[in-house]
Chains A and B, each alone.
Chain A
Amino acid sequence: MIINAEIDKPIFQQIKEGIEDAILSGAFPEESQIPSITEISVNYKINPATALKGINLLVENNIVYKKRGVGMFVCEGAVNKLMENRKNDFYDKFVSSLVLEAKRLKISENDIKNMIERGFKDEH
């Protein structure tokens, strides 16, 4: 996870998404402990209040939960939940911008379909 104070996204949002990515990739499995606020703040040189703001978003969405006096843990079912959320965002985040850029470059719908097919083939 990379935190960058210069880019447009607020830091607490980057913290939230960075931990989500780590959960999705399996770096933080369900029911495992995630780093503490102090560890996150020190590691990324951010204000603990900012780290807490990011973590609280994850707590509100039932992605992580706090165990009093122990730390924070990934909720059971968090991976599925995150995948659902991301699938919902997929169109807005990727498809609309893809189409917009394609129109700018005058790439046809068929060309795009071909490229997508090629992308899937190259994966294997």
Chain B
Amino acid sequence: MTVPDVFAYVLDALDIETLLVCTSEEEGKRIALELAKKLGFKDVDIVFIRFQGSGARVRLRAYLNRPGDQYAWLDLEDAGR
């Protein structure tokens, strides 16, 4: 029995929320997307960003499954989970 990749447990997307230390919303966007890239995510979007004061509050989303994809979580029972 193979152990599923941990990403198989994610239903649809991962949201990453943080405050990025930067000087503008534009810079925040650039950093956020770079962060997603560094974490290895490809299907990424910035759901929410607001620059205020010392940085940008960001809600970054990486879709692992979009509707209509083949969802790995459907195979979890086969994997004994």
Q: Do A and B come from the same complex?
A: no
B-side interface residues toward A, CB under 8 Å? Answer: none
